[in-house]
Amino acid sequence: MSRQLISADDFVKINKPGCYNGGEVNAVDKSSQKESLTRFAFCFPDTYEVGMSHLGLQILYFYLNRRGDTWCERAFMPWFDMVALLKEKNAPLFAIESGDGLKDFDILGFTLQYEMSYTNMLAMLDLAGIPFRAEDRGGDYPLICAGGPCATNPEPMADFVDFFYIGDGEATLDIVLDMYRENKGTKTDFLASICNVPGVYVPRFYDAEYSEEGNLGGFTPNHSEAPARVARAFSPSLGYFPDRFIVPLVESVHNRAVVEIARGCMRGCRFCQAGFIYRPLRERTPDEILTHAKNLMDTTGHEEISLLALSACDHEDFSPLIDVLLEETSRRRVNISLPSTRVDAVSLEAISKTQALRKTSLTVAPEAGSQKMRDVINKNLTEEEILEGCYRAFMAGYDKIKLYFMAGLPGEGREDVLAIADLAESVVDTYYRLDYEARKRPVSISVSTACFVPKAFTPFQWVAMADPADFTEGQQAVKSTIRKKQISYRYHDAKTAHIEGILARGDRRLGKAIEAAYKNGAIFDGWSEHFSYAVWLEAFSEVGIDPELYTREKATDELLPWDFIDMGVTKEFLVREWEKAQAGETTPNCREFCTGCGCEC
């Protein structure tokens, strides 16, 4: 197949003033050609301010728009006042480049980053005048696809989606669009034609069966083209990266340019879904990263650039990379920021160099307070290493450290929860090991505790999830144990986490509950002020679903809703890691982390 690709110079010509949205810098306008193009809307089921901070949106927007036969536009979930206005004016939800209603597009692609955004996806379809369920959408409606990390268990949203795209978007999405242009027959014909494209899962071509006890009893294809196992889309290298980003018209949640320096991780933390589904680790070279950083600084004007990876400091060339970047960013007065960091001497030396323009807080993620629990989750970090790293950070001039933990981990006891407070107080004590002259400002330690949610394709996918009362009791115990005034403590809402856990391990029967929750008022559930636990409990009751089916402990030989997907890690490998977790055994960090091939890494 041949496809026409547009050069970077052509992007500049395409991006001219007069777009419907007011002409954000670098937005793509192909309105003069739209009748001959495949119309694709990248739909983000949250606000513009949140969506425009999402790197995947920026990458796929320009990846698709590089095609001469495709116009990718954007749509977001409007806030309550805009929802009311659209309904009052009887106007459909529209894409912001052209202003055309979403119903006029060929394909709507939803990114599912968080289970609590599921009802927002239904809200966007509703506002667009598009039926929720795939079976109710004939040929006059666009195809609905979905991807993102939540698509690793697509079943809760299976009733609403024509096809899921699972894995790296740069890998086979071109093939899907090529086949769309070649197969202008019925939806069923097109969906059958893409069934064997890596990453594509078509729910209507599979049947699920359930036992009398309510467990998943069988999952089989019902179409000759549908494979028994769906392989993820995988890009062996991180080749494509845009040379520009759209610059938001208003301040976004993360108002900066971002360069993805690596995908995957060498750490193997057993709770971390991203660490398993993005295996093996792939890194960009320092020269590639510098080129991308220069391009973004040239074309966006952002005053900060973030180096994105699951563990940025683990990049093989991290220290020399920082030196090379600083030569460029210092000249431009652009700050470099990093996500959660490793606190060893080499990393801290490099990180400190990035703070020359503006000293910010340092983020450290011990994840568990006790050594026992850090071994269970395979954190491979001792308390001595944590405290020594914090000491080095204080010596380097940091006086604000954020500590991230989780509660409700498998095998956790009360003493393990209280160890969170003990470790935080030890960090404060470490600050006062400094000479008086070195303590220029009061130290500030921010402690955040998340509720552990078991996720698909991790060694903890079988464990029981703690109930909200247990989470809350543990949070209050930590809060009451912290005595030092230098520590601030925040924790996630236990009831929100409970619903997230149900959706994360759900099967396609949950589609009825998601629809009922939306109809009863559940939208923007990821925003604490709008989440209603009662609405969800009512929805489960209304459709006759016992939520505990999805939060209970599962046997390792039980059929799970996502077992038909090949995410690159074998079930045998995950079982082995789960058994090691139960025994308190760790697995060493490994740059060539095994994906289940049987190696001893």
> pLDDT value at position 19?
41
Of residues 389 and 14, more confidently modeled: 389
> pLDDT value at position 164?
98
Name the token pair of 193.
């034609």
Distance CA 517, CA 530 (A): 13
Of residues 275 and 595, more confidently modeled: 275
Name the token pair of 352.
């400190």
Distance CA 488, CA 475 (A): 13
User: What confidence tier does 465 reach under pLDDT thresholds 50, 70, 90?
Assistant: very high
Angle between helix axes 494-504 and 510-519 (nearest 10 degrees) is 140
Helices marked H in 462-569 = 468-481, 494-504, 510-519, 533-543, 548-551
Distance CA 78, CA 528 (A): 17
User: What confidence tier does 3 reach under pLDDT thresholds 50, 70, 90?
Assistant: low
- pTM greater than the 0.85 cutoff: yes
Distance CA 582, CA 491 (A): 26
CA nearest neighbour of 559 among 203, 212, 228, 216: 216
> pLDDT value at position 9?
47
Q: What is the pLDDT of residues 4-16, one digit of tens each?
A: 665 544 544 444 4
> pLDDT value at position 20?
45
List strand residue ranges (DSSP E) for 553-597, in order.
565-566
At residue 219, what are phi and psi to the nearest 5 degrees?
-150, 110
Residues 143-151, mean pLDDT to the nearest whole number:
97
Asked whether residue 341 carries a pLDDT value surpassing 80, the answer given is no
> pLDDT value at position 16?
44
Residues in a beta bridge with 42: 74, 109
Distance CA 554, CA 509 (A): 18
Residues in a beta bridge with 165: 200
Asked whether residue 187 carries a pLDDT value surpassing 50, the answer given is yes
The single residue listed with the structure tokens 């110079």 is 9
- The neighbour count for residue 599, using CB atoms within 10 Å, is 11
> pLDDT value at position 439?
82
Q: What is the pLDDT of residues 70-99, one digit of tens each?
A: 999 999 999 999 999 999 999 999 999 999
> pLDDT value at position 346?
57
Find the helix or strand (DSSP H, E) in which 247 lies: none
DSSP-assigned letters across all residues of 197-238: STTEE-GGGEEEEE-TTS-EEEEEE-STT--SSEEPB--SS-
